[in-house]
Structure 1
Amino acid sequence: MKVVITFVLMVLLFAMIFAPKVSAHGSLEPKHGGIVQEAHDMVFELVKEEKSVSLYIRDHGEDYSATDLVASIVVLAGKEKSEASFIPSGGNRMVADIAVSEGAKVLVRVTDDDHHPITIRYTF
């Protein structure tokens, strides 16, 4: 009996350690090489480019249309503060013409007509 209980406990421990991590709202792995944050049951991926940033939005693992969203970005780099608005760029992508330096703190605010605003924080 001790052997059976020990075996069951070992199997359960092994399953907990090596089981894949699953999110009820989709994967938190970046699909576009950016930084991923989850807020209000949605996944937001911010991708830093040379002179702009792209924001990709997913809900339950599926692309969420950015057409009806309004979003803005604030970049805090040292003592400097920059702000810009995102423009829908097809599908689940929005683009803002703003540069983000290494070490900057970034706040993204996304608003939908049906919901209250969502604020997402990033650090580069």
Structure 2
Amino acid sequence: MTETPSENESAETERSWEESTANSNELDSGQTVSGPTEDGSTESERIDLNEARQIVIDAADQLLDHQVEDVIKIESNDAGWRVVLEVLEREAVPDTQDILGRYVFSVGTKGNVSGYELSDRYRRDELKEEF
């Protein structure tokens, strides 16, 4: 005949399991392990600045019919990365009359390009404020 655990024993086992699970999120130093980000990735899965830059340059090569001139800005946010590129849209002589476009790309924490848009278009000789 097998014995079934009493209600008290079951409750104690459940409490013990909950305590050990709660404690498993703490490091020996007492620091808490960071949880997942908004998109479910952990900090160790998040791409870094250089990876975001290269992903956007590769995406621009595929999506735009223009040469990437430069990366103007890269900034991190909760959703991943925001990368601003300057693209040569029309070459002219003299080159001060080249038409440049600024494109803003959004990249998720795992490296997926979620969108892009043309934010500005101007001649190379026009002074632009950095944003």
TM-score normalised by structure 1 residue count: 0.31
Greater percentage in strand: 1
Instruction: Compare CA radii of gyration and give the structure with the larger one.
Output: 2
TM-score normalised by structure 2 residue count: 0.30
Greater relative contact order structure (CA < 8 Å, 6+ sep):
1
Greater percentage in helix: 2
